[in-house]
Amino acid sequence: MLKQIVEVKDISKYFGTVAAVDHISFTVWPGEVLGLLGPNGAGKTTTIQLLLGLTTLTHGQIEILGMDIKTKRNEILQRVNFSSAYISLPSNLTVYENLVVFAKLYGIRHYRNKIMELLEFFDLLHILNSRTGMLSTGQMTRLNLTKSFINDPEIIFLDEPTASLDPEVASRVREKLKKIQIEKNVSMIYTSHNMNEVELMCNRVLFIANGKNVLEGTPKEIKEKSGSLEDVFISIARATNFQINNCKDERL
């Protein structure tokens, strides 16, 4: 029987009175890539932070690989990983040194082979001994991804991994990601503001706005019902803005 990799049950996160995440539920199945979409400030990053236990839940439950994030955080973290365009690695260490540090942190035994294999896959072998600070944005993105595969994770959370890449580099990164995702059958939760990318990468998407689930389905289903993903995105974003503006008006 197929067992779900991630099971999110009715989670909320309040920052003071702001509901960044407001009663969201979803499931991720083995080998599935779930796109988490929504306008700026919708709660995508906060959701991922909650899944990683970087932020604590106000309400609800998260189970990853059958374990509760509240009680088994370390066991879960051993088997998941994360990458984002907004985080980085120490610029004064070399590419190889940085990866050794993380191999150690994940307790990888024969890490040299593992590192070489991944660097080769992400076309970084030639800059093995370069300082990380010298890398181009494209190389840095690939290095971040290399780091996030170092522990052979069963699920990877990617928060706008291709943000700030040029279209050609972004497309190469996507190809690599898709390839390794299929090879290793790893599940993913993927956020991006690029709808073409989402269509290429994701098996299923979940739109959220103002911290709430608004729409869920495969890209195909959504397109059949309501035109392109881009159109759906824009109408959701406009509806959200409309709501926010209305609330403001009421308060005035």
- By CB under 5 A, name the binding residues for Mg ion: 44-45
Q: Quick one: tokens of 206?
A: 């979940």
Nearer to ligand ATP (CB atom), residue 154 or residue 197: 197
Note whether 247 binds ligand ATP by CB under 6 A: no
Q: Kindly write down the DSSP assignment for every residue of 200-250, as one continuous string.
A: HH-SEEEEEETTEEEEEE-HHHHHHHHS-HHHHHHHHHHHHHHHHHHHHHH
* Contact residues for other proteins, defined by CB under 8 A: 13, 15, 20, 45-46, 49, 52-56, 74-75, 77-78, 80-82, 84, 86-94, 97, 100-107, 147
Region from 36-44, 76-84, 143-151, 178-186 binding ligand ATP, contact rule CB under 6 A:
36-44
Which residues touch 113 (CB under 8 Å, ≥6 apart)?
none
From the list 44-52, 181-189, 225-233, 241-249, the region that binds ligand ATP by CB under 6 A is 44-52
Supply the minimum distance, in Å, between the C-beta of residue 101 and ligand ATP: 27
Using CB under 6 A as the binding rule, whether residue 46 contacts ligand ATP is answered as yes
Q: Closer to Mg ion by CB, 44 or 147: give it.
A: 44
18 binds, among Mg ion, ligand ATP, other proteins, none (CB under 5 to 8 A by kind): ligand ATP
Strands 67-68 and 155-159: unpaired
Written as one string, the DSSP assignment of 109-159 is SSHHHHHHHHHHHTT-GGGTTSBGGG--HHHHHHHHHHHHTTT--SEEEEE
34 binds ligand ATP (CB under 6 A): no
Interhelix angle for 137-148 vs 111-121, to 10°?
140
Name the one range near ligand ATP by CB under 6 A: 37-45, 67-75, 76-84, 214-222. Answer: 37-45
Which residue, among 103, 93, 96, has the nearest Cα to 120 in the 3D structure?
96
Which partner in ligand ATP, Mg ion, other proteins, none is near 239 (CB below 5 to 8 A by kind)?
A: none
- Please give the Cα distance from 219 to 50 (Å, whole number): 25
18 binds ligand ATP (CB under 6 A): yes
Give 46 or 229: the residue with its C-beta nearer to other proteins. 46
**Least distance (Å) from ligand ATP to the CB of residue 10?**
17
Gap between the Cα atoms of 75 and 152, Å rounded = 14
d(Cα 33, Cα 58) in Å, to the nearest integer? 26
For other proteins, the closer of residues 52 and 205 by Cβ is 52
Enumerate binding residues for ligand ATP (CB under 6 A).
15, 18, 20, 38, 40-46
